[in-house]
């Protein structure tokens, strides 16, 4: 099952032991990541530096747009 879920057997038994990570926007709890999020991060880390920058630029643009939309 661990292989199918792409997690360690210990993580299945004991849960995630990853500490919270501080981001520029505040604290971010990595334990809240879904399997889909983890899969995306694995794929992201396999990208070239230039492609990672593009992804970061897109995420930043989406965050700005969501912030503007939330203000009404």
Q: Does residue 49 share a domain with residue 70?
A: yes
Provide, rounded to the nearest whole percent, the portion of the chain with pLDDT above 90: 31
pTM of the shown model = 0.57
Q: Does residue 47 share a domain with residue 62?
A: yes
pLDDT at 17: 54
pLDDT at 14: 72
> Can you tell me which residue has the tokens 């399997």?
35
Domain total in the chain: 2
39: containing domain: 33-72
pLDDT at 2: 74
Q: Does residue 25 share a domain with residue 44?
A: no
Q: What is the spatial distance between Cα 1 and Cα 53, in angstroms, rounded to a whole number? A: 34
Burial tier of 3 (Cβ tally within 10 Å: 0-12, 13-18, 19+): exposed
* pLDDT 10s digits, 9-39: 777 777 665 544 455 555 667 677 888 888 8
């Amino acid at each position: 099952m661990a292989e199918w879920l792409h997690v360690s057997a210990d993580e299945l038994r004991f849960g995630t032991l990853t500490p919270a990570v501080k981001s520029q926007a505040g604290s971010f709890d990595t334990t809240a990541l879904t399997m889909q999020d983890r899969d995306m991060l694995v794929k992201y880390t396999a990208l070239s530096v230039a492609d990672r920058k593009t992804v970061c630029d897109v995420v930043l643009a989406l965050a700005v747009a969501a912030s503007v939309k939330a203000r009404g």
